[in-house]
Amino acid sequence: MTENDFVDQTKDYIPEGWTSAPTVQDLQQNYNDSKSYHDMHESNRVEALDQLNITGHVKPKKRDGYSQVQPQLIRKHAEWRYAALSEAFLATEDMYSLKPRSANDKETAKQNEQVINYQWNNQIDKTLFVDTLVRTLVDEGTAFVRTGWETESQEYVKEVPIYDYFPAQTQEQVLELQQAAMLQQKDPYAFKQHVPEHIQQALVLTEQSGQPIYPVLKEVQKVEDELLLKNQPTVEVCNSANCYPDPTCNGDLNKAEFFIYSFETSKSALKKQGNYFNLDNIQMSTTSVLSAPDHEVSGDESFSFKDDARQKFVAYEYWGYWDVDGSGITTPIVATWVGSTLIRLEENPYPDKKIPFTSAQYLPVRNEVYGQPDGFLLKDNQAIIGAVTRGAIDLLARSANSQEGIRQDALDAVNKRKYKKGENYEFNPAVDPRQAIINHTYPEIPNSVGLMLNMQEVDANNLTGVRPFGATDSSAGTATADRGVLDAATKRETGILRRLAKLMTDIGKKIIAMNGEFLSDEEIIRVTDDEFVAIRRDDLAGHYDISVTIATAEEDNTKAQELAFMLQTMGNSLPLELSQIVLSDIARLRKMPNLAQRIQDYRPEPDPVQQQMQQLEMQKLQLENMKLQAEVGKLQTGAQLDMAKAAETGAKASNIQSDTDQKDLDFLEQQSGLQHARNVQQDRAQAEGNMALEILKADLNPPKQVS
């Protein structure tokens, strides 16, 4: 296809303002540039699968008379990994827990947690996804997961009644409005779900007008409507052979500039999705599945549909960043092409604007997107065990077990027939029958065979950290040594689980972002069997810290035993509320969520007799308390009276002491003449005062002169 052909086909579909839109050649160039990096790791993946399944060059070559047995050591270790890793995610009902980053996000975090856990438990096949993810990761060393959104709707014709609204005329109409209003106040969710819309509208008009308004049917109209059949997130474990990541991302897909994914589809499937164009320009003769040798087909390659609508072909989907307007700043885009025909070109439709692919590595390799499986560590051990086992089997299989050899001159023809019939026979006296007749048996297997096999098993266990049932180790033998080995194996398993949990966390973040964008205006979430919650899409916005709940059976069992021991030792002294908390946690760890909820919600019914006894006991205590208070008051009053009497006595004693001191002082003054001198001095002062007064009077009133 030439550049002009591309412009003619896509000019009506290129988004407005995209002056530098990528062409199929541009996208194909990125695909070709990443192919060498992809093929190098693809050869490692094929090698790992051959080692796991004993296929390809790993399968022993056939030789006549020799064994082809090859023990599957890698598969045995993988089988022990599958259940341990899957159970960690499937053991708990709620996979995700969200924590708000601020106080404003507390309520929305709870709603998002309910939505995403509901989707995983009811809309996504969680068991199938986790099992596929774990097996892909353990077998191949790398797992790519694609997140998306699936919407399916159906158009239908429904009859819509049209109502006029008039003041209520009868008491029954008013009563119906009152019942609806009471339900609205008591249970808004039930009101919205079960009360007809015309009654709801009548209540709104009633509140506005202040008088009861009742609807009256006017006519019935037929209108076309769309029924939403499916509106949910999707998760898919991709085939690594069909994934082409950016080789320059240094092991972090968040830094990748592009990611190309090839998948099988048909014209019918693409038309149903509704976001593809140019489908009629696809050349079916040159774009079939068989014409794409780099794509690994899922399913039977020999079967194919012949009709144009269902015939399968390979499409290449490009997620990445491109300078679409020539500004020098890239824009997140998605493009899809089949052969040389571009069928999709638009901006990344997901709200986070990131590549919708996440990955996890079983054994990480520095700066690499691809990891390694256990097969890379165990292939030599598996080959040695196979060689030694085949040698031991050949040693037994090539022996003449249960065969007899008879010397030719030991028996004549007649006695030889008797010997074969089990009858008494005669032998040649010149030949010792113990040497003439030989019974062949299996040879003894050398002890070095068992020693070599045990050495390889122990070495394989140490390399992977897997402890199969009955495995022995020279370092074990004591309780402390066994505990140390198990702890080390648990730590290695926990490391793998953390990488898987990181993958599930990234998936959860993408799903939460899509929920806020693509969910319907209101989703009804089932919390329990009898509790439903209505969640609005607008209420999901916020910032949260998301974490994945993982729990291994061993860890849960250990916690349950510790809690049971705590309850056993302290159960008699613990109050009922604390005992319920411990019992609820034990039931939850034992994978009995219904029992845990019942224990948590249990409240003992009060005994009427016991309640009455408690009331009487309380009254008795109150009366005793009042009696004690009265006695204490009486004692306090007596103490105050005694204190008053003591004060009065003290005052009297002080007064008597004062009189005594005064009398003693008077006696001393009289005896010493001081009192007499004081009296004389007082009389003299009085006389002087009187004299001065008379003189003053004389001065003021002089005698009159007689003329």
pLDDT digits (tens, 9 = 90+) for 421-464: 888 888 888 888 788 888 888 888 889 999 999 999 988 888 88
Sheet-wide strand order for 243-245: 243-245, 258-265, 313-322, 331-338, 341-347
- Average pLDDT of the segment spanning 247-275: 90
| Domains in the chain, number | 2
Whole-model pTM over 0.85 = no
Torsion of the alpha carbons at 492, 494, 498 and 504, rounded to the nearest 10: 120
Q: What pLDDT, on a 0 to 100 scale, did the predictor assign at position 286? A: 66
Top mean-pLDDT range of 87-91, 246-250, 582-586, 599-603: 246-250
Q: Is 228:153 a contact under the CB 8 Å cutoff?
A: yes
Evaluate if residue 144 carries a pLDDT over 90: yes
pLDDT: is 175 or 189 the higher one? 175
pLDDT at 6 over 60: no
The residue out of 200, 222, 244 marking a domain boundary is: 222
**Where is 295: in which H helix or E strand?**
none
What mean pLDDT is predicted for residues 680-702? 76
For residue 195, give the DSSP letter. Answer: S
Residue 530: CB partners within 8 Å, gap ≥ 6?
A: none
User: Would you place residue 522 in the very low, low, confident or very high pLDDT band (cuts 50, 70, 90)?
Assistant: low
pLDDT at 592 over 80: no
Q: Are 206 and 212 in contact (CB under 8 A)?
A: yes
pLDDT computed for residue 705 by the predictor: 56
Whether 40 maps to a domain, the answer reads no
Give the pLDDT mean for 512-522: 80
Domain of residue 675, residue span: 608-695
Report if residue 622 sits inside a domain: yes
> Identity (one letter) of the amino acid at 600?
Q
Asked if 17 and 326 touch (Cβ cutoff 8 Å), the reply is: no
Nearest by Cα to 31 from 280, 314, 420:
314
**Per-residue b or e along 313-346, where b marks 16 or more CB atoms closer than 10 Å to that residue's CB:** bbbbbbbbbbbbeeeeeebbbbbbbbbbbbbbbe
**Is residue 189 in a domain?**
yes
- Domain ends where: 222, 252, 268? 222
Is 26 part of a structural domain of the chain? no
pLDDT range class, residue 196, cuts 50, 70, 90: confident
φ/ψ (deg, to 5) at 156: -150, 165
How far does CA 242 lie from the centroid of its chain?
29
Q: With 70 as the cut, is the pLDDT of residue 535 above it? A: no
Work out the pLDDT band at 147, boundaries 50, 70, 90. Answer: very high
Concatenating the DSSP letter of every residue in 229-291 gives EEEEEEEEEE-GGGEEE-TTSTT-GGG-SEEEEEEEE-HHHHHHH-----GGG--TTTSBGGG
Number of residues in the chain: 707
| Proportion of the chain above pLDDT 90, given as a percent | 27
Q: Which pLDDT belongs to residue 529? A: 46
Alpha-carbon torsion angle 245, 248, 252, 253, nearest 10: -30
Residue 7's pLDDT band (cuts 50, 70, 90): very low
Q: What is the DSSP string of 644-674?
A: HHHHHHHHHHHHHHHHHHHHHHHHHHHHHTH
Residue 372 is predicted with a pLDDT of 93
Give percent of the chain above pLDDT 70.
87
Decide if 461 is inside a domain.
no
Average pLDDT over residues 161-180: 88
In a domain, 687, yes or no: yes
Does residue 203 belong to any structural domain of this protein?
A: yes
Q: pLDDT of 262-286, one tens digit each?
A: 998 888 988 888 888 888 888 876 6
Domain finish residue from 222, 242, 265:
222
**Residue 271: left (phi > 0), alpha (psi -120 to 50), or beta?**
alpha
Longest dimension (CA), the chain: 222
Q: Determine the pLDDT at residue 12.
A: 65
Q: DSSP assignment of 138-164, as one string?
A: HHHSEEEEEEEEEEEEEEEEEEEEEEE
Q: How confident is the model at residue 528 (pLDDT cuts 50, 70, 90)?
A: very low
Q: What is the pLDDT of residue 112?
A: 82
Is residue 638 assigned to a domain?
yes
